[in-house]
Amino acid sequence: MADDITPLASLSLTHVYYNPSDPLSLLSAYLALLPQALIIVYTTLLLSTREAEVALTFAGQLVCEALNFALKRLIKEERPRHILDSATKGYGMPSSHAQFVAFWAVTVGLFLLVRHRPGERRATREKGGIEGWMHGEWGVLERAAVSGCALGLAGAVAWSRIYLGYHTEKQVVVGWVAGVVIAIVWYVVTTVVREFGLLEWALELPVARWFRLRDLVVEEDLCQAGWEKWEGRREAAKRKKTT
């Protein structure tokens, strides 16, 4: 009877080896889950905002992963020996984690510092006879700070792969450089798509209209826009009660 039992396998998607007696090793194990968390964030933002920019960025991230898959099988460099002895499968050059987070961080920075062009708004304005309220757009310093935080977090993830012993320094550096290069190339590609009107054409297609895809986030602060609608409703309700 025991001979009929099928041996179980481990799903390596979130299976991370770490030293339980080392707090930094545990932190590194959690940092290793950032790519999976970002996939959830991408999907959530795409479904909730239907923004074309989110869709383009997510598509670029998938292209980055596909290229990493191809590079690993082209180079065929093994991981460090002690990790191989722990039954971890797959090649190590370049590091997929480093490439993933480098693409993400550079893309965030390029969007916030180059592509994002929020319109200048007045401090007050008329909305149906109601005086407007202060609107604070992110300035260059705020956007630079967020971009720096993304870059720092990505660097921590890349470092964690070396600390955990999943990759050599060279494998992580190559993965990081590949992610940066792909992010820059993808930014150029999406800029060309925008400049030549291809995105505008695609958003007019029936399937894009059916999914309610739009392209607002480049010039609008979507959180503030929703807040303004809410404040307008509250002010209107207050005025109605006092009349």
Give the pair of three-digit tokens for residue 233.
Answer: 């409703």
pLDDT at 168 over 80: yes
- Give the angle subtended at the CA of 40 by the CAs of 160 and 189, to the nearest 5°: 85
The DSSP code for 114 is: I
pTM of the model: 0.80
- Which residues does residue 98 pair with via DSSP β-bridges, in sequence order? none
Mean pLDDT value of segment 33-59: 90
Number of alpha helices (DSSP H) and beta strands (DSSP E) in the chain: 10, 2
Q: Over the stretch 94-114, which tens digit does the pLDDT of each residue have? A: 888 899 999 999 999 999 888
Cα distances from 24 to residues 97, 163, 165, 171, in angstroms, run 18, 8, 13, 21
Render pLDDT for 115-164 as a digit per residue (tens, 0 to 9). 887 764 443 444 444 344 444 567 778 888 989 999 999 999 999 888 88
Tell me if 112 sits within 8 A of 145, measured CB to CB: no
- Within 13 A of 106's CA, how many CA atoms are on the CB side? 22
CA distance 179 to 95: 10
**Average pLDDT for 177-194:** 94
Please state the domain extents for the chain: 20-122+129-242
Query: Using CA atoms, how far apart are residues 149 and 105, in angstroms rounded to an integer?
Result: 9
* Cα distance between residue 61 and residue 104, in whole Å: 7
